[in-house]
């Protein structure tokens, strides 16, 4: 049983409301709201041994206190303790304060030490006057916790409330249920729960602070493990629930898939065949498939998805294919027309820009069931779009969508209790153990090889000052019959300005290279224009395509073998890799030029170096995880999925094999504890995703 937070002394309705913003509803939640750092007020530090960056308690005598006048009035107080001198600097002060800090007065201060112009300083330290010189320095027994907090909730009140809750815990008035099985605690050598919690709120003075700060302390690992397990259990449980739901079993004689393969200009790679076999087996079952296909840029995910679509159509059902951008949706549509029209399959297209009569007709055809495959952007799950017999939902470039969008589309199929199968595709490959945890609600297939004959893209990093050289290189490439992308960076967040930048670049290049046929593609063109430009580029009626990042995902023109990315220093690693994936799709040698402006930051240099050194999506993802952290890379931060409190998917990666090993075991062997574990750890984001 959990105890409502209002039962804690000092918590009224108003405070309780503020605590909910920290996801604290019960007193127990407060105990799991852990410090993100600590201050050491357990000992007095000799001034002489301070270094800039330290946070410390000092005690000494005021040597001199003076007001300095200048641009900004301030109070400067020199304090010495026999080992050294430190300056206290106050910008806000009143006359009484100045008076109290007179020469000869003893003060105790706590604050961050920084290097000032002449000596070490503390700016606005916490301080108090020590009245009795005989007073024994009375310092704290524990490190002082610093909690993440929220508006109108003071650090000090949070500290006090937590201290009260800990007292209750120590007195046995509050009980934290141990949810980890004894066998697990033993196997991992983990301490018991309440000991770990107590320790992390009030670490003893001799704690290894570096371990704590790196979140690598055994007490933290124990909680991190529990949190990761809770997340994985929650996702896995969702998958088990989904498996109990009904889906149409898509049985067919494989007529269409055989026909299409016979008609393709290439043979499927072994990896593609293996992954399709896994999908095919799923589709035969009367429970909804929930499969994620991971494959690097260019590994050929589209054709695998199309084969799955064909199986669905042959079994008499409809397919929805959702892509994150209009250009990609349009390209999928063109591919499907080319591949499926010969098989007499009817295909439609829906995007936010489809309006009026044509939209009404398309929607009507979907509802009537005369359209068999529908491609589109997220416009696919607008309310009035209804499917007669939707049995397969394919989501391309999943990391671009939120969980909610995915679920919204899934619900389109709930007719007579039949859920559609789901196939989710992503080009953000991540290590297997990580995938098992964060995609515990999905089955994962990996297309782990590129089609034969692909050559790695040579990548060069070039300063803007050599732009004219690069322009000449573009001219040469086009003269040899190759095609080129010129990608303009996001100079501003504003789409208008981005498009403007692309327009300017296109004009400049047209002036410099009058012999070339140059096209322009950006988000503000109307659909028909975008379509036309893409078609012209595909059919080699254009040599050079100047574009914004609208071409980032999916675009496929094998004859393009040179890409210039302007302001490459501003892009993230994953995005650069995706963009670069637009070249190297044909048989020629391809080159990607990363143009950069000005001097590079450390992070930008690391990113560009990674791009130069490797073409391997897994390696890129690994480095990206290191540079940016998993929340950003996997989009979980944006979508609110798996917001972790103690655990860190990267720092605690080595816990994942054991977490994965215990996930199903926990559900099966400890069914009574599952709900409590999820309740304790899984944040609102994931709870919401379940609705």
**Residues of this chain that bind ligand ADP (CB under 6 A):** 266, 268-269, 272, 295, 297-303, 427, 451, 556, 558, 585
Q: Which does 406 bind (CB under 5 to 8 A by kind): ligand ADP, Mg ion, none?
A: none
Q: How far is the CB of 334 from Mg ion (least distance, A)?
A: 13
Q: Give the binding range for Mg ion (CB under 5 A) out of 148-156, 551-559, 562-570, 683-691.
A: 551-559
* Residue 332 beta carbon to Mg ion: minimum distance, rounded to whole angstroms: 8
Binding mask 449-488 for Mg ion (x = CB under 5 A): ----------------------------------------
Task: List CB contacts of 553: < 8 A, sequence separation 6 or more.
Answer: 323, 324, 325, 328, 396, 397, 400, 427, 578
Report whether 300 contacts 267 (CB < 8 A).
no
Q: CB neighbours of 528 closer than 8 A, spacing ≥ 6? A: none
Q: 582 CB contacts (<8 Å, ≥6 apart)?
A: 485, 551, 555, 556, 557, 560, 563
User: Using CB atoms, what's the residue nearest to Mg ion?
Assistant: 554
Compare residues 231 and 269 and give the one whose CB is closer to ligand ADP: 269
Nearer to ligand ADP, 42 or 615 (CB): 615
Work out how close the CB of 588 gets to ligand ADP at its nearest, in angstroms, rounded to a whole number.
Answer: 14
Evaluate whether 129 touches 109 at the Cβ level (below 8 Å). Answer: no
Does 554 help bind Mg ion (rule: CB under 5 A)? yes
* Nearer Cβ to ligand ADP (363/392): 392
Specify the stretch interacting with Mg ion by CB under 5 A; choose among 211-219, 252-260, 348-356, 546-554: 546-554
Element (H, E) at 314: helix 301-314
- Judge contact between 34 and 166, C-beta under 8 A: no
CB of 257 to ligand ADP, least distance (A): 14
CB 328, min distance to Mg ion, A? 7
Closest CA to 279 of 445, 481, 94: 445
The stretch among 83-91, 446-454, 548-556, 632-640 that binds Mg ion (CB under 5 A) is: 548-556
d(CA 143, CA 147): 13
The CB-of-390 to ligand ADP minimum distance in angstroms stands at 23
CA distance 101 to 108: 11
| Angle, vertex CA 587, rays to CA 581 and CA 591, nearest 5 | 50
Binder of residue 139, out of ligand ADP, Mg ion, none (CB less than 5 to 8 A by kind): none
Nearer to ligand ADP, 299 or 660 (CB): 299
- 147 and 33 Cβ atoms separated by less than 8 Å: yes
- Contact yes or no for 489/465 (Cβ under 8 A): no
Q: Which is nearer to ligand ADP, 250 or 303 (CB)?
A: 303
Say how far apart CA 660 and CA 644 lie, in whole Å: 17
Strands 37-39 and 144-146: antiparallel
Q: Which is nearer to Mg ion, 290 or 398 (CB)?
A: 398
Comparison of 36 and 266: residue with beta carbon closer to ligand ADP: 266
Cα distances (Å, whole numbers) of residue 153 to 21, 22, 162, 163, 165: 10, 10, 13, 15, 17
Q: Which is nearer to ligand ADP, 148 or 456 (CB)?
A: 456
Q: How far is the CB of 308 from ligand ADP (least distance, A)?
A: 13
- Pick one of Mg ion, ligand ADP, none as the site partner of residue 269 (Cβ within 5 to 8 A by kind): ligand ADP
Report the nearest approach of Mg ion to the CB of residue 402 (Å). Answer: 19
48 DSSP 8-state letter: G
Beta bridge partners of 562: 484, 591
Number of residue whose CB is nearest ligand ADP = 300
295 binds Mg ion (CB under 5 A): no
Binding site for Mg ion (CB under 5 A): 554
């Amino acid at each position: 049983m959990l105890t409502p937070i209002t039962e804690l002394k000092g918590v009224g309705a108003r405070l309780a409301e503020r605590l909910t913003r920290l996801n604290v509803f019960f007193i127990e939640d407060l105990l799991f709201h852990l410090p993100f750092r600590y201050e050491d007020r357990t000992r007095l530090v000799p001034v002489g041994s301070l270094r800039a960056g330290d946070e410390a308690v000092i005690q000494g005598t005021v040597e001199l206190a003076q007001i300095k006048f200048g641009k900004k009035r301030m109070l400067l107080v020199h304090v010495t303790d026999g080992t050294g001198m430190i300056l206290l600097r106050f910008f806000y002060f009143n006359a009484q304060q100045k008076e109290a800090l007179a020469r000869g007065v003893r003060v105790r201060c706590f604050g961050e030490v920084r290097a000032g112009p002449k000596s070490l300083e503390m700016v606005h330290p916490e301080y108090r006057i020590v009245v009795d010189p005989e007073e024994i320095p009375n310092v704290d027994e524990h490190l002082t916790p610093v909690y993440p907090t929220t508006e109108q909730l003071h650090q000090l009140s949070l500290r006090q409330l937590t201290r009260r809750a800990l007292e209750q815990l120590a007195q046995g008035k509050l009980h934290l249920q141990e949810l980890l099985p004894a066998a697990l605690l033993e196997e991992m050598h983990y301490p018991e729960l309440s000991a770990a919690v107590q320790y992390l709120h009030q670490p003893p003075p001799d704690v290894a602070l570096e371990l704590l700060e790196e979140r690598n302390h055994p007490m933290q690992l124990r909680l991190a493990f529990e949190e990761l397990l809770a997340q994985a259990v929650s996702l896995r449980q969702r998958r088990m629930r989904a498996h109990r739901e009904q889906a149409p079993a898509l049985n067919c004689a494989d007529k269409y898939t055989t026909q299409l393969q016979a008609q393709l200009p290439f043979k499927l790679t072994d990896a593609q065949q293996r992954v399709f076999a896994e999908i095919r087996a799923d589709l035969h079952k009367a429970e909804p498939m929930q499969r994620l296909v991971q494959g690097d840029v260019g590994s050929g995910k589209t054709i695998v998805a199309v084969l799955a679509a064909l199986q669905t159509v042959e079994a008499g059902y409809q397919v929805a294919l959702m892509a994150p951008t209009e250009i990609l949706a349009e390209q999928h549509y063109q591919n499907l027309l080319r591949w499926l029209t010969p098989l007499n399959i009817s295909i439609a297209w829906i995007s936010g820009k489809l309006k009026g009569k044509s939209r009404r007709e398309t929607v009507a055809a979907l509802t009537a069931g005369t359209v068999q495959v529908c491609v589109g952007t997220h416009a696919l799950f607008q309310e009035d779009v209804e499917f007669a017999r939707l049995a397969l939902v394919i989501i391309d470039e999943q990391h671009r969508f939120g969980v909610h969008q995915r679920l919204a589309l899934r619900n389109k199929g709930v007719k007579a209790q039949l859920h559609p199968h789901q196939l989710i595709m992503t080009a953000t490959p991540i290590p297997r153990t990580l995938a098992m945890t964060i995609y515990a609600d999905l089955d994962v297939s990996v297309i782990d090889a590129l089609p034969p004959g692909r050559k790695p893209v040579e990548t060069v990093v070039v300063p803007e000052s050599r732009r004219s050289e690069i322009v000449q290189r573009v001219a040469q490439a086009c003269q040899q019959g190759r095609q080129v992308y010129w990608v303009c960076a996001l100079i501003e967040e504003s789409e208008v300005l981005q498009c403007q930048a692309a327009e300017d670049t296109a004009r400049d290049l047209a002036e410099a290279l009058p012999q070339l046929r140059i096209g322009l593609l950006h988000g503000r063109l109307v659909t028909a224009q975008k379509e036309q430009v893409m078609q012209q580029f595909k059919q080699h009626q254009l040599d050079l395509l100047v574009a914004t990042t609208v071409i980032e995902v999916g675009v496929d023109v094998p004859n393009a073998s040179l890409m210039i990315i302007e302001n490459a220093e501003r892009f993230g690693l994953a995005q650069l890799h995706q963009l670069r994936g637009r070249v190297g799709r044909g048989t020629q040698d391809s080159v990607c030029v990363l143009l950069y402006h000005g001097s590079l930051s450390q992070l930008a240099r690391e990113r560009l170096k990674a791009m130069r050194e490797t073409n391997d999506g897994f390696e890129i993802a690994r480095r990206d995880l290191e540079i940016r952290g998993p929340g950003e890379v996997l989009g979980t931060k944006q979508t609110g999925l798996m917001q972790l409190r103690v655990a860190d998917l990267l720092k605690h990666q080595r816990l994942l094999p054991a977490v994965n090993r215990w996930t199903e075991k926990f559900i099966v062997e400890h069914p009574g504890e599952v709900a409590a574990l999820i309740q304790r750890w899984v944040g609102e984001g994931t709870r919401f995703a379940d609705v």
